[in-house]
Chain A
């Protein structure tokens, strides 16, 4: 259980940062191009899943411990609710785009525009990436020692 062969390890170590940066791009440009928080989060998680498949669970755990992933997951959910409640406090309705309406209209098709939509995309990307990596990691953890042993 020390990971795959040398070819997979070498190519994976080259490719993993490219996949991660592509995921960050999809998340950040989610309000301008196809993509967004969910798709970018899946790509972010898949970079770490590639790391886990190529180098083994221990290396992935050293790189991104499960407690940190769990905290990032909770942080994403809390920040998403926080953005929504800020809209309730400043704009008068839940999830209202107060930043776009009142404070920072922004230029259309600029990267920093559209108010709270990029912020929501970033938070959703964090949440989806962390939780999807955690799902795959936890599914790979429990493995039957000897199947059929507990029968009868």
Chain B
């Protein structure tokens, strides 16, 4: 069921990116799509009642530095979270690029409407 909601969120973003004619709304739709994918990746590593995958002091067996087996079975998967952190950084960079393209286009054309931006002139 949560994956279906992720898919619904992705579809909302896709609708926003495809149907809307304002450039800023298209950027918002692309960002909603990225967040839906990030949410699905994080939920892949989650299981019910999981704890955060950060070792605290009392979860470590102090004699030989081993991590307790109960912590390993209880914690959520940290690998999708690291992947999503990288994806968030990349989406930040692409968001800055898209916003700068929007600003430049508005500077040149005076509008955000993509149906008015049709001249193939540098």
Contact = CB atoms under 8 A, between A and B. Distances in A.
Nearest to B65: A108
Given A34-B52, A108-B65, A148 B109 contact: yes
B103 A151 contact: no
Nearest to B99: A139
A108 B92 CA distance: 33
Nearest to A132: B92
Interface of B: 52, 54, 57, 60, 65, 85, 88-89, 92, 96, 99-100, 103-104, 106-111
Interface string A112-152: 00000000000000001000100100110010100111110
A108 B107 CA distance: 55
26 contacts: A33-B54, A34-B52, A38-B85, A38-B88, A108-B60, A128-B89, A135-B96, A138-B100, A139-B96, A139-B99, A139-B100, A142-B103, A142-B104, A142-B107, A144-B103, A144-B107, A144-B110, A147-B106, A147-B107, A147-B110, A148-B111, A149-B110, A150-B107, A150-B108, A151-B109, A151-B110
Contacts, number: 35
Contacts of B89: 38, 128
Nearest to A35: B54
Contact of A109 (B57, B103, B110): B57
A149 B111 CA distance: 11
Contacts of A109: 57
B86 to A, nearest CB: 9
Interface in A1-54: 33-34, 38
Contacts of B107: 142, 144, 147, 150
Contact of B54 (A34, A128, A139, A142): A34
Nearest to A138: B100
Enumerate the 9 nearest inter-chain pairs by beta-carbon distance, A residue then B residue, closest first.
A148-B110, A144-B107, A147-B110, A135-B96, A109-B57, A151-B110, A150-B108, A38-B89, A139-B99
